[in-house]
Amino acid sequence: MVHNRPQTISEATLESEQFLALHIGDSESSKTVSNDTIRTKDSEIWFFQIADVAELTETPIRLFDETGNARGPINPDSGLDYNQLYDSNGDDTLRNDDDDFTVYHYSIGVKQDDLRIYPRIPENQNGGGFTYLTGSEPDPFDGDRFGYVPGDQTNYVDPSTKLESLAWRNGDLSVHQYGFYNDAEVRIDPLISVVGAAYQLRPVFDRDAMLNLLADMGKPRGDQDNKVYTVDFSRSALRTFSYTVPEEWKDAQNTLTVERANLPEDIEKAIATTDSPADEVQGGAR
């Protein structure tokens, strides 16, 4: 259950000694229960405590390609295909090349209300959010009317959490790409902002501590014993994806795997479960 999630990135930003839960899921599998095959979904949740916080603001960002050539302005009723947010030098604005326990928690804002923002992670990239079934991915070039956030819903100064994500050190390029469509009657030269925080993390690897944080994730923020904020990295994932996390995270084993299955009533009775859907929690890195 989601309890009063923050609406803007400033409301979502954490402070030192608070907790971050990174949710990556769901992966589908199957198992046999009482001679029936059921579908299950596995989610990984990585737990961290915030050791230090630094402001993260990149603005103004104009649209360039990897060679540093300008991609804007955009004509009326026209769009730009997905790409990373490059600067005028062809550098990837969102690429995180810090140490393994430094992450960027951010969202995207735009200056122009009539600009649509289409987020995705490409199928061939490591990551896990904003992905679609092959053939059903929204096309920003044609202005498809789904899979986007309108510019008037993500403020330039304090962006909406609708485009919230997390970036950790991962290869030569950031995994997130954005497409744009001009819904106005005049040309638009997009002005983009990246706003949030850079966190220095320490892993939470004690199983009981992780289970306590997992319990807090299901409570309203005012009722939590520990202030923990969940970044749902893959809430828009609609196709199979792969992702990598730093080796130091795996070594710390600061993760729980939550298995969820929607069980028919007769199977539930056979295995004597009391709640549906059923959850099973496992510890340790996968």
For 143-193, what is each residue's pLDDT tens digit?
Answer: 999 889 999 999 999 999 999 988 888 777 887 889 999 999 999 999 999
Average pLDDT over the chain, rounded to an integer: 81
How far apart CA 93 and CA 95 sit, in angstroms, is 6
pLDDT number for residue 60 = 93
- Find the mean pLDDT for residues 67-91: 95
How far apart CA 243 and CA 234 sit, in angstroms, is 11
Q: What is the pTM of this model?
A: 0.81
pLDDT number for residue 284 = 52
* pLDDT at 35 > cutoff 90: no
- Find the mean pLDDT for residues 215-228: 87
* pLDDT at 209 > cutoff 60: yes
Burial readout 58-69 (b: 16 or more C-beta within 10 A, e: otherwise): beebbbbeeeee
- Using only C-alpha atoms, what is the Rg of the chain? 20
- Which range is least confidently modeled, 43-57, 98-112, 152-166, 232-246? 232-246
pLDDT number for residue 175 = 79
- Find the mean pLDDT for residues 203-211: 94
Could you tell me which residues come within 8 angstroms of residue 1 by beta carbon, excluding any fewer than 6 positions away? 218
Beta bridge partners of 283: 256
pLDDT number for residue 172 = 78
Residues of the chain with pLDDT > 90: what percent? 53
